[in-house]
Structure 1
Amino acid sequence: MSNKLVFITGGSGHVGFRTLVTALEAGYDVRAAVRSEFKKDLILSAPSIKALNPKDRLSFVIIPDLSAPGAYDAVLQGATYIIHIASPIVLKGDYDPSEYQSALIGPAVEGTTSILKAAAETDGIKRVVITSSIVAQIDPKYFFEVDRPENEVLDHTSRTSLSAGPYPTDFHAYNASKIAALAATETFVKTHDLSFDVTNIHPSFVTGKNELVTDVSDFTLGTNVTIMGSILGNKSDSPLVGASVHVNDVAYMHVKALSPEIPAGSYVGNSEGEKGTVWQDATRFAAKHFPQAVQAKVVPNDGTQPTRRLRIDVTREERVMGFVFMSFEEQVKSVVEHYLELKGGS
């Protein structure tokens, strides 16, 4: 992979950082776009990066606004591949409804189309890999309101249309941002004569150790809260779609998708096959693997989280990419172990 430069956006995020590390481990050189010097320093301070000691194999460009017109002008020169992960996310649920379009939907679409336009104007780009989501593939009512019919199975071909809103919550608006960005990507590919391939990766809820989270107070800001909620004693009556995937697997998919032997297209990331994730199992796995922490009440492990079933077929993904998704039990072990590390437990 020498002299194979990958340009990566979103490298300080949960998926982005692990993808950056995985790309370096695979032998690629990485140029990471970050919004600030702070984000750059955060990445460089991570133990995984220090252990790799990539030196000049890892470089950075500072782009404060990744959705700004011309944000990627000149910074793609010399790159062979692009992995576009950066996109607005919902962390604290504090968006005002009046901001949904300007803060979530608009930037998701503009950031994606901007990097595709820049790639089309840059010589030497062979493949662009974009982070989408399973929320871009099915009607939002199956996340928030009703179970999807038992005979319907989500796979890489599944798509849904964009609702014009208004959106009742910021997570509904986040769903809309992913639907809109995927539609914009596929329209761009159809309407342009491109010299490169485009692949979309569609993860379910991404869990697993986030090495850049170093303060336990920040631990439940991301999607790891889907696992930690019941372990920390939260009692929810609202079903959560039973679909999850380890961050290491998602990172592997992004990097593997750069390989010419992997056909371009869409790939879904999800563990446990069509059975899916049963969120309440998190408390059982925590008690199994961390009995002392549970007995000592370091974690209450007495919360509740009902599951809304969603059947997802990833047999094609595992066959084409040559791996098996890690189990939900492995995801729980990864997340709880990191939480206890930050708490100072064992």
Structure 2
Amino acid sequence: MHGIRQDDINNILDFIPDMHLSILISGVNGFIATEVALAFLEAGYHVRGTVRTQAKADAWLALPSFVPYAASGKLGCVLVGDIVAEGAFDQALEGIDYFIHTIAQLPDWRSGVSQDYEKSILIPNINGTVSALRSAAKSPKCKKVVTVSSIAAAADFSVHNHTEHITGESWNPRDYEYGKNAPHPLLAYTTSKKLADEAAWKFMKETKPHFALVNMLPCFVYGPTHGHDPFGINNGSNQWLAGPLFRADWNFQTTSGGPVLVDIRDLCTTFVRVVEKDEANGRRFVLGCSNVSIFPSDFVSIFAKEFPGRAHLLPSVPVDLVNTPVFTIDSSETERALGMKFRSPEETLIDTARWMIDNGGEQAWKGVETRY
């Protein structure tokens, strides 16, 4: 069934007392959304998440980090099956103060797979974002909508070397026709992220709703996680860290990842502060460390130095490897406006690698078929 179940709404409408601020997070069982939800819960907010099926809701609420919050009534899930349907989020937003929209349709990365980029990527990502904003416009209590975009909305990934820093003022120049006929599924996806942001700001300009909009532009996200796929085995972004750490056969020629990363812990801090700071309203923020370009092939030397006992287990990096696209970001305005400092890539990589080693990542990756 499309949309949210009325029984679910009836059960949760009273679960957020008036004295507590409330957050709606779409696609709450995703990698980024899971950590953002936990960050808001720890900051004292009440969280309502959307998922597509009851089975996914049950599985996510059963994660150890979330059981106490669900039991205390501070956390709940509702079903939204079709995010582009008219009014998809109307009922889910009832009584909500802030809306964090994280859902995006990814392409099928497998070699040789035929797909219609317009139908499978562009339309869902553009219309899904606008659908979220239309629902927020019907919710008088909603003060702010924060969308999880991507650095790809600001940087053209088809350009191999960028000569200027990417900032919150930068825009990927690719248009709809390019996205429909992109030479690679990654470029269809990156174009869709730009177009979704563009559509969101157009909606704000034309309708002038009562809420503020903020775009978050994370780079490749790594870090310890509390979700279902902690080591990135099922195509989560942690795969580009775990692969070089645990697989001697990791293929740097065919796997993505880079050139800028952001620690999931820093990302969560930015989301909480964006909600709490009026200065963030109406802006786009790049998330990650300034002036650093780093790829998974660069991780190997960091791991070898930090974990010398594992050096012989690490993959070799082809001498003719050419990593693209190469660019850096300038996140100084993000740090100033939100009062924070991003971790260095080395700190993120070492912390996350040690966490994976200590929590069974190596054993988990041993059973993964080579598909990268």
Under a length normalisation based on structure 1, what TM-score does the superposition of the two structures give?
Answer: 0.88
Secondary structure of 1:274's aligned partner = coil
Distance 2:121 2:299 in 1: 30
Label 1:270 to 1:328 Cα distance change in 2 as closer, same or farther (>3 A). Answer: same
Please show how residues 136-147 of structure 1 align to structure 2 within 5 Å. Answer: 136-142=153-159, 146-147=160-161
Please show how residues 15-26 of structure 1 align to structure 2 within 5 Å. Answer: 15-26=32-43
Secondary structure of 1:119's aligned partner = helix
Secondary structure of 1:280's aligned partner = helix
2:89 to 72, 84, 90: 72
2:242 matches 1:224: no
Query: Does the aligned pair in 1 maintain the 2:166–2:330 contact within 8 Å?
Result: yes
- How far is 1:160 from its partner? 2.7
Query: Does the aligned pair in 2 maintain the 1:241–1:310 contact within 8 Å?
Result: no
2:337 matches 1:320: yes
- How far is 1:163 from its partner? 4.5
Query: Does the aligned pair in 1 maintain the 2:57–2:77 contact within 8 Å?
Result: yes
1:236 to 239, 252, 257: 252
Label 1:163 to 1:109 Cα distance change in 2 as closer, same or farther (>3 A). Answer: closer
- How far is 1:343 from its partner? 4.1
Distance 1:288 1:50 in 2: 38
Label 1:98 to 1:250 Cα distance change in 2 as closer, same or farther (>3 A). Answer: same
Alignment-derived partner of residue 185 in structure 1: 200
Label 1:22 to 1:2 Cα distance change in 2 as closer, same or farther (>3 A). Answer: farther
- How far is 1:221 from its partner? 1.4
Alignment-derived partner of residue 268 in structure 2: 251
Secondary structure of 1:292's aligned partner = helix
- How far is 1:3 from its partner? 1.9
Distance 2:150 2:83 in 1: 19
Number of equivalenced pairs? 335
Root mean square deviation, CA, Å? 2.5
Alignment-derived partner of residue 3 in structure 2: none
2:361 matches 1:332: no
2:177 matches 1:164: yes
Distance 1:103 1:280 in 2: 31
Alignment-derived partner of residue 270 in structure 1: 288
Alignment-derived partner of residue 151 in structure 2: 134
Alignment-derived partner of residue 342 in structure 1: 360
Distance 1:248 1:90 in 2: 26
- How far is 1:182 from its partner? 0.7
Q: Structure 1: where are the runs of 5+ without partners?
A: none
Alignment-derived partner of residue 302 in structure 1: 316
2:212 matches 1:200: no
Secondary structure of 1:212's aligned partner = coil
Q: Structure 2: where are the runs of 5+ without partners?
A: 1-17, 364-372
Q: Identity percentage over the alignment? A: 25
2:169 matches 1:154: no
Alignment-derived partner of residue 54 in structure 2: 37
Q: One-letter code of the match for 1:226? A: W
Under a length normalisation based on structure 2, what TM-score does the superposition of the two structures give?
Answer: 0.82
